[in-house]
């Protein structure tokens, strides 16, 4: 009976210690909520920049995606000339946190097009069971959702926008003439 009691109290102490660590982690996370949005913004920026580089290296794949989405006549070429620079410039701006809302808004039309004109029309009931088209749709939808959040909340403390705002808030004290 004493052995069971000892295991029980040791288990309770372990649970208390884990609960205390969990509450410490929660307290830290609550105090640093803006860092999580910063990490999402930086990740999105780097990923979009890499996707722009991938589209440069695989221009034929981008054109195939655009032509598969319907008969758009001249639109695939024009869209390609918007998508690649927008991903490169917008991704770099997002990663740096410079003109953050503008950079996110620059990406949103591309992701809306990807979700509603490129991936969603391709999915039929049969394809819903296959992974590739559905995952592309889900990923594009997730990136679109995160970009909308970044556009709403803007840059966090790990951004050039924040650094420039703090720098401009510094007041210059007038010096007396000698």
Examine the domain organization and report whether 51 and 26 are in the same domain: no
> Does residue 66 lie within any of the structural domains?
yes
**Rounded Cα gap, residues 171 and 39, in angstroms:** 30
Examine the domain organization and report whether 149 and 94 are in the same domain: yes
Examine the domain organization and report whether 46 and 84 are in the same domain: yes
- Centre a 10 Å sphere on the Cβ of residue 124 and count the other Cβ atoms it contains: 10
Examine the domain organization and report whether 23 and 42 are in the same domain: no
> Does residue 70 lie within any of the structural domains?
yes
> Does residue 116 lie within any of the structural domains?
yes
> Does residue 177 lie within any of the structural domains?
no
Examine the domain organization and report whether 3 and 50 are in the same domain: no
Examine the domain organization and report whether 54 and 115 are in the same domain: yes
- Please report the DSSP string for 26-86 in residue order: HHHHHHTHHHHHHHHHHHHHHHHHHHHHHHHHTHHHHHHHHHHT---TTHHHHHHHHHHHH
Q: Exposed, middle or buried: residue 48 (CB in 10 Å: 0-12, 13-18, 19+)?
A: buried
Examine the domain organization and report whether 27 and 39 are in the same domain: no
| This model's pTM is above 0.85 | no
Planar angle of CA 155, 161, 163, nearest 5 degrees: 115
Examine the domain organization and report whether 139 and 113 are in the same domain: yes
Examine the domain organization and report whether 7 and 57 are in the same domain: no
Examine the domain organization and report whether 102 and 142 are in the same domain: yes
Examine the domain organization and report whether 91 and 54 are in the same domain: yes
Examine the domain organization and report whether 42 and 27 are in the same domain: no
Domain span including residue 25: 1-31
Q: Is the dihedral of CA 42, 45, 47, 50 positive or negative?
A: negative
> Does residue 178 lie within any of the structural domains?
no
> Does residue 175 lie within any of the structural domains?
no
Residue 139, Cα to own-chain centre: how many angstroms?
11
Q: What is the pLDDT along the chain (178 residues), one digit of tens a residue?
A: 555 555 567 777 767 776 777 777 778 777 878 888 899 999 999 999 999 999 889 888 777 777 766 656 656 777 778 889 999 999 999 999 999 999 999 999 999 988 887 777 666 544 555 555 556 888 999 999 999 999 999 888 889 998 988 887 775 556 666 6
> For the chain, what is the domain count?
2
């Amino acid at each position: 009976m004493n052995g069971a009691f000892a295991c029980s109290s040791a288990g309770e102490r372990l649970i208390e210690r884990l609960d205390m660590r969990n509450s410490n982690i929660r307290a830290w996370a609550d105090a640093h909520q803006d860092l999580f949005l910063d990490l999402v913004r930086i990740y999105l920026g780097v990923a979009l920049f890499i996707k722009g580089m991938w589209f440069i290296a695989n221009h034929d794949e981008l054109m195939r995606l655009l032509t598969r989405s319907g008969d758009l006549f001249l639109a695939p070429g024009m869209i390609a000339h918007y998508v690649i620079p927008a991903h490169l410039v917008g991704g770099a701006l997002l990663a740096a946190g410079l003109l953050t809302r503008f950079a996110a808004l620059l990406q949103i039309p591309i992701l809306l097009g990807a979700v509603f004109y490129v991936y969603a029309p391709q999915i039929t009931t049969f394809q819903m069971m296959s992974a590739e088209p559905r995952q592309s749709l889900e990923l594009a939808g997730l990136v679109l959702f995160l970009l909308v959040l970044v556009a709403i909340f803007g840059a966090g403390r790990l951004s050039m926008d924040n650094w420039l705002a703090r720098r401009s808030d510094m007041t210059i004290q007038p010096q007396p003439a000698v």
